[in-house]
Amino acid sequence: MSFNSVDELLAAIQPESGGREIFDPATGELVGRAPIATPEDLQGAIDRAEAAQVGWAKRSHAERSEFLNKAADAIEAAAEPLAELLSREQGKPLNGPNARFEVGGCAAWLRANAAFPIEPEVIVDDENVRSEMHYDPIGVVGAISPWNWPMLISIWQWGPSLRMGNTVVSKPASSTTLSVLALAAVMNEALPEDLLIVVPANSKVGAELSRSPKIGKIMFTGSTEVGKIIARDAADTVARLTLELGGNDAGIVLPGTDVSKLAGDIFWGAFINTGQTCAALKRLYVHEDQYEEVVQAVLEVAKGTPMGVGLDENNLLGPLQNKSQYEVVERLVNAAREGGANIRLGGDPAADQPGYFYPTTIVTDIDNDNPLVAEEQFGPVLPIVKYSDLDQAIEWANGIDEGLGSSVWSNDPEAAVEVAKRLQAGTTWINQHGAIDPRIPFGGAKSSGYGLEFGDAGLKAVAQPHVITITK
């Protein structure tokens, strides 16, 4: 069937009666009702996915890629209602790097995963032996996705898993269940039955996903604390793991950088998705010689970027997705204020405004050990820290246990690369931050997780390496 409206999407995924109500974080209005999965529902989904995987694994890469492209076609055909539902449930605006961008990324990511070549790799081939590395399906992949990019991160998990011959049982975040159910409903119009099953379970029921002996691989994006629990749970079954966990990304502006050309990129590196991105710029270190110049340049961009209800075509920033995250941001900004920092913009949410809106906030003259710098805020707040010595800035950037992304900003690419080599992170960008690409592997360092996603490395991460050696 075709999906031409949000009502048609909701009709396909809502229970006939009951369910859990989900509200718009921008307005407080009811968006819809999500089904409530039981332990029996989860087990049934795993059993169905296990049965379907046998036939799916027998298909060639070309056949599986064709299905992924058909699923991408289906997403593009339903792009506008998907984006509207996402905006209403998650809160992000339609325009800018937000809801329409995310839905478009879902289709693009599927097409990219369909296109990557995967061939056996010849390890040794001499007069005595030929040894090849093949990449076989693992089986059933358990995919657990977060609420900040609910559709796109789900695709990051689903696309490579399906391409490599696995089936997927997916557990979405409770506050963005409808978006993920709708995306799967659209894709399943193009996919064979039971390859992709979304189970709208609570955390207690969902925890059984990482304990099931029928799950061969767990992919999780979320907090470090939950990632540790999943790793412990999966140990008993020796399930493979890809964990993309919390980040408190640092950026360093090198002395003499022409910030006039980079202020917009710095701003969106920090404030994309209203700051609710694991690999967003969370703390910026600027040399004292141009500290105020950088602050003013970022402030100028921030003041001109509208925040409001996502369905308003003019807005580019939205609310925080849930109350608990709002309270985290509020606590950390208050800690900065109490520590003597200067709140140059924002920091004073309107008491009578509906929704979880926290104003765009720029904080200066802040100590590196202030909680707003030391902890991940995951919201529309950027602390800008002054440094006088580059070695000190690098030490500060590396001084916490997270290591997802980082960035260096400079007119001198060679100098920037030398600094990048000293940063402890899975990815370091030069003159940008958080710019992901389906061709380029992505993963964390330290407590930001392990395992790679994207590119052929991401495909291999959801496959079983299989060495075949032939004696001549």
Let me know whether 106 and 231 are in one domain.
yes
Residue 33 near residue 182, CB atoms below 8 Å:
no
Does residue 1 register a pLDDT over 80? Answer: no
Let me know whether 235 and 372 are in one domain.
no
- Concatenating the DSSP letter of every residue in 250-270 gives EEEEPTT--GGGTHHHHHHHH
Beta strand 427-430 with 445-446 is: unpaired
What is the spatial distance between Cα 472 and Cα 469, in angstroms, rounded to a whole number? 10
pLDDT of residue 350: 87
What is the spatial distance between Cα 284 and Cα 383, in angstroms, rounded to a whole number? 6
pLDDT digits (tens, 9 = 90+) for 81-118: 999 999 999 999 999 999 999 999 999 999 999 999 99
What is the spatial distance between Cα 397 and Cα 422, in angstroms, rounded to a whole number? 10
Among residues 50, 84, 278, 453, the one annotated as catalytic is 278
Residue 415 lies in a domain: yes
Among residues 244, 376, 402, 453, the one annotated as catalytic is 244
278 assigned to active site: yes
pLDDT of residue 275: 98
pLDDT of residue 93: 98
CATH number for the domain spanning 83: value is 3.40.605.10
Residue 57 lies in a domain: yes
Let me know whether 316 and 458 are in one domain.
no
Q: Tell me the C-alpha to C-alpha distance, in Å, between residue 370 and each of 86, 246, 339.
A: 34, 18, 7
Residue 421 lies in a domain: yes
Q: How far is CA 82 from the centre of its chain?
A: 18
What's the one-letter identity of residue 184?
A
Let me know whether 195 and 303 are in one domain.
no
pLDDT of residue 30: 97
Residue 369 lies in a domain: yes
Let me know whether 304 and 373 are in one domain.
yes
Let me know whether 112 and 225 are in one domain.
yes
Let me know whether 461 and 381 are in one domain.
no
Q: Which two tokens stand for residue 458?
A: 């991401």
Residue 443 lies in a domain: no
Residue 1 lies in a domain: no
Residue 2 pLDDT level (bands cut at 50, 70, 90): confident
Helices and strands in the chain: count of H runs, count of E runs: 16, 20
244 assigned to active site: yes
Residue 305 lies in a domain: yes
Let me know whether 261 and 321 are in one domain.
yes
pLDDT of residue 150: 98
E-strand stretches of 99-234: 121-125, 129-137, 140-144, 167-171, 196-198, 215-221
Let me know whether 427 and 458 are in one domain.
no
pLDDT digits (tens, 9 = 90+) for 131-186: 999 999 999 999 999 999 999 999 999 999 999 999 999 999 999 999 999 999 99
What contacts 191, CB < 8 A, 6 or more positions away?
67, 70, 71, 162
pLDDT of residue 352: 83
Number of domains in the chain: 2
Specify the length of the chain in residues: 472
| Mean pLDDT of the region 281-286 | 98
pLDDT of residue 194: 98
Does residue 248 register a pLDDT over 80? Answer: yes
Let me know whether 274 and 230 are in one domain.
no
pLDDT of residue 423: 98
Let me know whether 11 and 34 are in one domain.
yes
Domain of residue 190, residue span: 6-245+448-471
Report the mean per-residue pLDDT for the chain: 97
Percent of the chain with pLDDT over 90: 98
CATH number for the domain spanning 284: value is 3.40.309.10
Let me know whether 170 and 316 are in one domain.
no
Residue 351 pLDDT level (bands cut at 50, 70, 90): confident
